[in-house]
């Protein structure tokens, strides 16, 4: 999912870039079940603990996690109901992609799923 999201994000076609958000948010939802498939909340807390033992930083990650999940649910990223807010420009898509990608990358690296600083398919260890 991450390599597909990256490929779509790097494509200059605006539609492909919007599709990259959907793939990235799908990866986010899957990541939240990687430790304990039946508990997204417990899984995210486990992942946050691997990033940092410092309580204030863990709180920052928890808040960002909730915000990112809300963005995925409220905007036309994972859902397309008419009540969802559309992404209106490539710049908005770029901002959201970078924000979500940074969170996923941080958590996967802390977990040991990424061997290098760049996410490449051959470096993701699932």
87 within 8 A of 74, measured Cβ to Cβ? no
Give me the domain span that covers residue 31.
2-123
Q: Which of 3-12, 87-96, 110-119 has the lowest mean pLDDT?
A: 110-119
Q: What angle do CA 30, 34, 39 make, to 5 degrees?
A: 90
Integer Cα distance of 56 and 41 in angstroms:
18
User: Using alpha carbons only, how large is the chain's radius of gyration in Å?
Assistant: 15
* pLDDT tier at 118, thresholds 50, 70, 90: low
Which residues neighbour 15 within 8 Å (Cβ) at sequence distance 6 or greater? none
* pLDDT tier at 114, thresholds 50, 70, 90: confident
Listing DSSP states for 29-74 in one string gives HHHTTSS-TT-HHHHHHHHHHHH-S-HHHHHHHHHHHHHHHHHHHH
DSSP state of 114: B
* pLDDT tier at 122, thresholds 50, 70, 90: low
Counted domains in the chain:
1
Residue 91 pLDDT: 92
Integer Cα distance of 10 and 86 in angstroms:
20
Give whole-number Cα distances, 47 to 73, 86, 113, in Å: 22, 30, 12
pLDDT tens digit sequence for 68-101? 999 999 999 987 888 999 999 989 999 999 999 9
Integer Cα distance of 61 and 66 in angstroms:
9
pLDDT tens digit sequence for 14-63? 899 999 999 999 999 999 999 999 999 999 999 999 999 999 999 999 99
Residue 22 pLDDT: 94
């Amino acid at each position: 999912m991450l390599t597909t999201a990256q490929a779509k994000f790097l494509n200059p076609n605006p539609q492909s870039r919007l599709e990259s958000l959907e793939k990235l948010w799908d990866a986010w939802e899957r990541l939240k079940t990687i430790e304990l498939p039946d508990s997204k909340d417990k899984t995210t807390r486990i992942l946050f603990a691997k990033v940092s033992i410092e309580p204030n930083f863990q709180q920052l990650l928890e808040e960002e996690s909730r915000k990112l999940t809300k963005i995925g649910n409220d905007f036309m990223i994972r859902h397309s109901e008419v009540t969802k807010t559309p992404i209106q420009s490539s710049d908005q898509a770029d901002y959201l992609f970078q924000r979500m990608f940074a969170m996923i990358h941080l958590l996967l690296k802390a977990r040991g799923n990424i061997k290098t600083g760049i996410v490449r398919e051959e470096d993701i260890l699932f």
